[in-house]
């Protein structure tokens, strides 16, 4: 089969590989829609997780099952499924401890395009199909459905990690597709004021659509000063970091109030350290909590998010600004995610 791969750091291209086969609990899926992620850009062009040779890229897909293992109970060949970006080993101590994202090792629940071939191929392998696939109903379009697999679960995890309360004031640093879903998640959890930080027009418009009450452009100067000015010097209750570089942690610490929570969902692809400013952190005594996490995956998570879409609580169509037809266009879509033109939020390829 053909797959679009990371050949080495900074190099991508089409390669031929043996088609995967299903073990007793697994499934082989043919993608119906795929989407490149900014994380693929960190992985390929920053070498953020180290070198990978001839590894098929992609971890966002919905598809159709073409082969099923003998022990899989709930799915059959021909079913249309949502495939989470994170497909953990559910029989692991980390999963039992509540951190399935790190099943059998830090970040090891993230298998596609990290530890094994990803979804930008004619076929791909899904471990533990009963626990890692979710049914895709026909009412949800393919391009919206593929946004559930990573963008929605990640952005919503930002809102969860930040422990948004009813009426919380929130800053979301970065309003790409991940930040937009953090805005959406914050609004659903009852946030009051939501300040989005970004510059590109498509993202700013979408942020207002999803619930941002204010927009701050980081290109207009120090975002801490801008946010302090907007909040009469008080700062905000919660900060979700969904974009920008290593400097954003220090900014988040400075703009969150004592007792506040900072939730990072950004993939810091470069730089050695993230620094915490001593004084703004109350010399260590400000009760400012810092958390960060990989998005949750697995079947239950996908089904719960899917139902938010199915019952019209969340409209994901607004995230997809570029839609291509034919898997051969995945390279174009990936390069769009690298170049980030003003009108881009997210690109999808309908296979």
Residues that bind Zn ion (CB under 5 A): 37, 39, 150
- Compute how many other C-beta atoms are within 10 angstroms of the C-beta atom of residue 325: 9
How far apart are alpha carbons 59 and 43 in whole angstroms? 12
* Residue nearer to ligand NDP on the CB measure, 194 or 295: 295
| Cβ-proximal residues to 70 (8 Å cutoff; 6+ apart), any chain | 24
* Residue nearer to Zn ion on the CB measure, 56 or 223: 56
The interaxial angle of helices 177-188 and 201-210, nearest 10 deg, is 10
- Total number of residues shown for the chain: 351
Figure out which of the listed residues 88, 176, 260, 297 binds ligand NDP, where binding follows CB under 6 A.
Answer: 176
Q: Does 249 bind ligand NDP (CB under 6 A)?
A: no
- Compute how many other C-beta atoms are within 10 angstroms of the C-beta atom of residue 251: 23
* Residue nearer to ligand NDP on the CB measure, 125 or 301: 301
Residue 36 interaction partner, one of ligand NDP, Zn ion, none, beta carbon < 5-8 Å per kind: none
Q: Does 109 bind ligand NDP (CB under 6 A)?
A: no
Q: Cβ of residue 290: shortest distance to ligand NDP, in angstroms?
A: 14
How far apart are alpha carbons 174 and 10 in whole angstroms? 25
Query: 275-281: long-range contacts at Cβ-Cβ below 8 A with a sequence spacing of 24 or more?
Result: 275/246, 275/249, 275/250, 276/249, 276/250, 277/250, 277/253, 280/250, 280/253, 280/254, 281/253
| Site size with ligand NDP, rule: CB under 6 A | 30
* Residue nearer to ligand NDP on the CB measure, 20 or 244: 244
Figure out which of the listed residues 109, 179, 211, 297 binds ligand NDP, where binding follows CB under 6 A.
Answer: 179
Residue 221: exposure state from Cβ atoms within 10 A (0-12, 13-18, ≥19): exposed
The region of 9-17, 72-80, 169-177, 313-321 touching ligand NDP under the rule CB under 6 A is 169-177
* Residue nearer to ligand NDP on the CB measure, 95 or 242: 242
Q: Could you give the angle at the alpha carbon of 330 between the alpha carbons of 308 and 145, nearest 5°?
A: 10
Residue 199 interaction partner, one of ligand NDP, Zn ion, none, beta carbon < 5-8 Å per kind: ligand NDP
Q: Cβ of residue 28: shortest distance to ligand NDP, in angstroms?
A: 24
Q: Which of residues 256-295 bind ligand NDP (CB under 6 A)?
A: 265-267, 294-295
Q: Cβ of residue 243: shortest distance to ligand NDP, in angstroms?
A: 2
Burial profile 181-200: b = 16 or more Cβ within 10 angstroms, e = fewer: bbbbbbbbbebbbbbbbbeb
* Residue nearer to ligand NDP on the CB measure, 74 or 222: 222
Q: Does 244 bind ligand NDP (CB under 6 A)?
A: yes
| Cβ-proximal residues to 261 (8 Å cutoff; 6+ apart), any chain | 161, 162, 163, 237, 238, 239, 288, 289, 291
Q: Cβ of residue 89: shortest distance to ligand NDP, in angstroms?
A: 17
Q: Does 160 bind ligand NDP (CB under 6 A)?
A: no
Ramachandran angles phi, psi of 297, nearest 5°: -125, -155
Q: Which residue is nearest to Zn ion (CB)?
A: 37
Residue 149 interaction partner, one of Zn ion, ligand NDP, none, beta carbon < 5-8 Å per kind: none
Binding mask 195-234 for ligand NDP (x = CB under 6 A): --xxxx--x--------------x----------------
- Among 4, 55, 78, 77, which Cα is nearest to 34's? 4
Q: Cβ of residue 69: shortest distance to ligand NDP, in angstroms?
A: 27
Q: Cβ of residue 37: shortest distance to Zn ion, in angstroms?
A: 3
- Among 269, 1, 5, which Cα is nearest to 117's? 5
- Among 90, 74, 85, which Cα is nearest to 27's? 74
Q: Which of residues 110-149 bind ligand NDP (CB under 6 A)?
A: none
Tokens of 275: 């620094």
- Among 201, 198, 231, which Cα is nearest to 215's? 198
The residue ranges that bind ligand NDP (CB under 6 A) are: 37-39, 42, 150, 154, 173-179, 197-200, 203, 218, 242-245, 248, 265-267, 294-295, 340
């Amino acid at each position: 089969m053909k797959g679009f791969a990371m050949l080495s750091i900074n190099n991508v291209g089409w390669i031929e590989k043996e088609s995967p086969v299903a073990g007793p609990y697994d499934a082989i899926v043919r993608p119906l829609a795929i989407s490149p992620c900014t994380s693929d850009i960190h992985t390929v062009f920053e070498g953020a997780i180290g070198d990978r040779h001839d590894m098929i890229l992609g971890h966002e897909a919905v598809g159709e099952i073409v082969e099923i293992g003998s022990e899989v109970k709930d799915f059959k060949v021909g079913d249309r499924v949502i495939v989470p970006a994170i497909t953990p080993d559910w029989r692991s101590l980390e999963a039992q401890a509540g951190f399935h994202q790190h099943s059998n090792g830090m970040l090891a629940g993230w298998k596609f395009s990290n530890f094994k071939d990803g979804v930008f191929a004619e076929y791909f392998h899904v471990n533990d199909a009963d626990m890692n696939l979710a049914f895709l109903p026909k009412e949800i379009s393919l391009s919206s459905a593929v946004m559930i697999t990573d963008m929605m679960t990640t952005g919503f995890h930002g809102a969860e990690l930040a422990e948004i309360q009813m009426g919380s004031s929130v800053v979301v640093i970065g309003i790409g597709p991940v930040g937009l879903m953090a805005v959406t998640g914050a609004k659903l959890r009852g946030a009051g004021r939501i300040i989005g930080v970004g510059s590109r027009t498509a993202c700013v418009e979408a942020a207002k659509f999803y619930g941002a009450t204010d927009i701050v452009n980081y290109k207009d100067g120090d975002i801490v000063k801008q946010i302090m000015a907007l909040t009469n010097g008080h700062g905000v209750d919660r900060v979700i970091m969904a974009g920008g570089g290593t400097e954003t942690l220090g900014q988040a610490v400075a703009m969150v109030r004592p007792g506040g929570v900072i939730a990072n969902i950004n993939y810091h692809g470069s730089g050695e350290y993230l620094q915490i400013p001593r004084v703004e952190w109350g010399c260590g005594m400000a009760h400012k909590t810092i958390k960060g996490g990989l998005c949750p995956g697995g079947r239950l998570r996908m089904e719960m998010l899917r139902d938010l879409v199915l019952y019209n609580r969340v409209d994901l169509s607004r995230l997809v600004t570029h839609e291509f037809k034919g898997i051969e266009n995945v390279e174009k879509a990936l390069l769009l995610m690298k170049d980030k033109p003003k009108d881009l939020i997210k690109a999808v390829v309908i296979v």
